[in-house]
Copies of this chain bind each other. A is one copy, B any other.
Amino acid sequence: MITKDLGKRIRSLRNKTGLSQEKFALRIEMDRTYFASVESGRRNISILNIKKIADGLGISLSELFTGL
């Protein structure tokens, strides 16, 4: 399931930044509980929010989806 795979990928990349879910969500101005549910693969996230996360991670969308 792509939502699960994407959530895992985001969690892995966010962990590499050294930021907690809460701090990362704050940085990208996304609701903390929404962001947590994205990492858990429970959201059919839209492109605007995916882009916001990729920007926060400092990577391209293509990089974000690498391997998925």
Residues of B contacting A60 in the complex (Cβ-Cβ under 8 angstroms): 65, 68
Residues of B contacting A45 in the complex (Cβ-Cβ under 8 angstroms): 46-47
Q: Is the interface of A mostly helix, strand, loop or mixed?
A: helix
- Could you give, for residues 27-68 of chain A, a 1 whenever the CB lies within 8 Å of some chain B CB and a 0 otherwise? 000000000000000001111101100000000111111111
Residues of B contacting A3 in the complex (Cβ-Cβ under 8 angstroms): 47-48
Residues of B contacting A2 in the complex (Cβ-Cβ under 8 angstroms): 47-48, 51, 61
**Tally of chain A residues near chain B (CB < 8 A):** 19
Chain A interface residues toward B at CB < 8 A: 2-3, 6, 44-48, 50-51, 60-68
A3, A45, A46 — which one has the most chain B CB atoms within 10 A of its CB?
A46
